[in-house]
Each structure stands twice: as structure tokens, then as C-alpha cells.
Amino acid sequence: MSGDGKVPSWAVVSSSSSSPPDILVLMWCIVLYFIQIGQLKKGLNPPSLTDLVFVSPHLMAAIKTGIITGVIAMAEGIAVGRSFAMFKNYHIDGNKEMIAFGVMNIAGSCTSCYLTTGPFSRSAVNFNAGCKTAMSNVVMAMAVMITLLFLTPLFHYTPLVVLSAIIMAAMLGLIDYEAAIHLWKVDKFDFIVCMGAYIGVVFVNIGVGLVAALSISLLRVLLFVARPRTFVLGNIPNSGIYRNVEQYPNAKSIPGILILEIDAPIYFANSSYLRERIARWVVEEEERLKSSGESTLQYVILNMGGVGNIDTSGISMLEEIKKVFDRRALKLVLANPGAEVTKKLDKSKFMENLGQEWIYLTVGEAVAACNFMLHTSNPNPDEKEESGPWNNV
């Protein structure tokens, strides 16, 4: 203590220092000094280039294992790299990352090296240590080599639980709780993917976490493909704009016309669902018009603007719908089909069967044409055939 009663700054221990982990390591080292747990071998791994054999009976198993571990390591490395890129605000080139992983593993396989990737634990320790450039990896490699050659016996008394605690302490600073809360508020499914990956990595291993996240994401894609969005469009008053009636309650339906929008490509996986969904919309609209005493349904307009592609199953679905519409005295009208969709519909002769006069560039043009036909022809509702089952094509 100085003459004025103040404690010198060099004698003050900051509350944010790393004293507790250091004391914990020292304490367990002293305890394990009196417990024999075996010896740790020192030295570098021997060369393994001469061990490369292509006629081994276990070659196929080795290839399968190599592909699986390589994919997992690559996914882990790129995911970890992107996580730290968000922290430091820089760009990650996936192609360069894969080339780097490949070159490192080819070179490392010649010296009995462990699978090379971008591990989360060592990256977290480097990040918290303040490393700025890739030169830190060179320094770390030199330190590991010196440790393996000369200092390995000193780690004989360092328990793995303490080393794990050091790594976990470094990793805790990388967990972004606010990002998880943001995912929960914005998209619950993204939050489930995040938690699946987190629980798998923390409580099992990185491979399980990646598989869990990929499986949940794949399930989400399959659900979106198999159950695409379809909704009824209505006209915004005093405009030629047509929007979803659920999103815009002031949108008005057009008498005698049902406007539907499909917001996804039409494939074999969703063609049956779309057929049933369109049939349900038509039945509900006919029941609504019948109960309200309005004019009967005459035209069904399909807005194809969101349909980026269509396969033969989707074309067959449209042909079935047209046949059912013809029996029910309804007219199918297409609006805004894309170039790829138009090309396939033309090659399949569907456009010729439907008629070029029932394909329009916009929903507004289709509605105007249908309104013109309604007011000029004025078909007699009594001439409609009896509504039959939708699956009787």
C-alpha cells in the first residue's frame, strides 16, 4: 500500500480475469499428480503414404466412411466459417473453403493426420483470444508441434474435464441468444431447425446436430412442395388489381367468376393436392352463391404467375380439371402462364384443347373477357349439367 493509502494498480486483480479457470486447472493437476492415469506418448505422427492400399477387402467401407465424414466435415467447416464471418462482417467463399479442406486432408493423410476441418471449439478459442488473421493457425500449428515433441508429458496431469471446461467457456461467448429469440418471433420453423442443430451438437456431437438440422429443413421443403399455397383473389375497389381476399378483406369477388392463384411449381408431389384444393374452392364458391341467391358460377380463372414450372403430372391434373369443368358447364381460364409452363402446355396439346382464346396475359384481361362473355351470351343456368363427383373423370 502506498503512502496515500491507495493500493498499487499492479496488485489489483480484475473481476473479469481468468483466475477461476486457472485455479481449477491447477487444483486438478495437483490432485491427479497423486493418481496414476497412464502415460501420454510424445512425438509427431509417422508418415502414412506407404500405407495407401487399393486392394484391401475393406476398401468400399473406407470409401463410404470417407465420403460421409468428408461431407460432415465440409458442412461443419463452412457453417463455422459463416458464423464467424457474421461476427467479423466478411465474406466466405464456399468453393475456396472446399478446395482448402481437400488440399489439407490430402496432405494430412500422408502423415497420419486427423480429419482436417474448421472445428467449432478451436475456432471459438482463437476468436476469444483475439486472433485476426490466418497466421494464428501457423503459430498454433508450431505450438502444437513443439508440445507434441517436448511438452506432452506435462499434460499427463491435466484432466480432460478441465480442458473441456476451457473450450466450453470460450464457446459460450459465441451463442447468440438474441438471434434465437428473433427466429422464434419471425419464423417458428427456423427456430426449430436452430434448436435441433444446437441440441444435437451440444448433447451428442456435431454430426448428429448437422443431420438433425438438415432433416428438419428437408422436411420443411417437402411440406412446402407437397402443400403449395393456393388462395382466392378479389378485386381491389376502384382499381384493376387483384389480391388475396384473406390478406385484403376489402377485395371484392367478381359475380360468376372464381379467381384462384397457385403460388408454386406444379409437380407430381403436389398435383393431387392442387386438384382437390381447386375442387374444394369451386364447391365452396357454388354453395356460397347458391345460399346468397347470386348468379351461378360460370368461369374459373387460374392465375399461373407463381407457377415457375410444371411436369407431366401437373399437365394431367389440368386436363382432368378441364374435363370435370366441361361436365359442370364451367369454363377454365388461364392467366399469366410463364414461358416454361407455356412451352410444355403447348407441346402437350393442352393449349390447343383448351383454346388460345382462354389464355390471357393478366388476371385483369381474363376477368374483362369473362365479364364480356357473361353480359353478351348470358347462359341459362338451367342448362347446367347435374354436378357430379370430382373424381369421376
Weakest-pLDDT range from 130-139, 182-191, 248-257: 130-139
Q: Are residues 241 and 130 in the same domain?
A: no
Rounded to an integer, the average pLDDT of 184-213 is 83
Half-sphere CA count of 185, side-chain side, radius 13 A: 6
pLDDT band at 14 (very low <50, low <70, confident <90, very high): very low
122-147 tens-digit pLDDT: 676 677 777 777 787 788 888 888 88
CA angle, corner 91, sides to 85 and 97, nearest 5? 90
How far lies 126's CA from each of 91, 208, 250, 294, 382, in Å?
Answer: 18, 24, 57, 72, 80
pLDDT band at 384 (very low <50, low <70, confident <90, very high): very low
Residue 219 pLDDT: 86
| Residue 218 forms part of a structural domain | no
Query: Does position 379 have pLDDT exceeding 60, yes or no?
Result: no
Q: Are residues 293 and 150 in the same domain?
A: no
Report which of residues 256 and 112 the model is more confident about: 256
Q: Are residues 109 and 237 in the same domain?
A: no
Half-sphere CA count of 159, side-chain side, radius 13 A: 18
pLDDT band at 48 (very low <50, low <70, confident <90, very high): confident
> Crossing angle, helix 177-186 and helix 188-203, to 10 degrees?
140
Residue 385 pLDDT: 46
Instruction: Give the C-alpha separation, 118 to 259, whole Å.
Output: 52
Query: Does position 19 have pLDDT exceeding 60, yes or no?
Result: no
Report CA torsion sign: 362, 364, 365, 370: positive
| Residue 122 forms part of a structural domain | yes
The three-state secondary structure class of 15 is coil
Report which of residues 293 and 26 the model is more confident about: 293
Residue 254 near residue 262, CB atoms below 8 Å: no
Q: Which of 132, 161, 190 is the last residue of a domain?
A: 161
pLDDT band at 4 (very low <50, low <70, confident <90, very high): low
| Residue 208 forms part of a structural domain | no
Scored b (16 or more CB within 10 A) or e, 28-40 reads bbeeeeeeeeeee
Domain count, the chain: 2
pTM of the model: 0.58
| Residue 282 forms part of a structural domain | yes
Please identify which residue in the block is written with the cell numbers 347458391. 290
Q: What's the CATH number where 313 sits? A: 3.30.750.24
Q: Which of 145, 161, 177 is the last residue of a domain?
A: 161
Residue 143 pLDDT: 84
Q: Are residues 275 and 147 in the same domain?
A: no
| Residue 28 forms part of a structural domain | no
Q: Which of 142, 161, 180 is the last residue of a domain?
A: 161
Residue 393 pLDDT: 43
Summary mean pLDDT of the chain:
78
Rounded to an integer, the average pLDDT of 173-194 is 83
Query: Does position 274 have pLDDT exceeding 80, yes or no?
Result: yes
| Residues pairing with 337 in the sheet | none
Instruction: Give the C-alpha separation, 298 to 258, whole Å.
Output: 8
Q: Are residues 144 and 248 in the same domain?
A: no
Residue 243 near residue 234, CB atoms below 8 Å: yes
Residue 376 is part of which domain span? Answer: 230-383
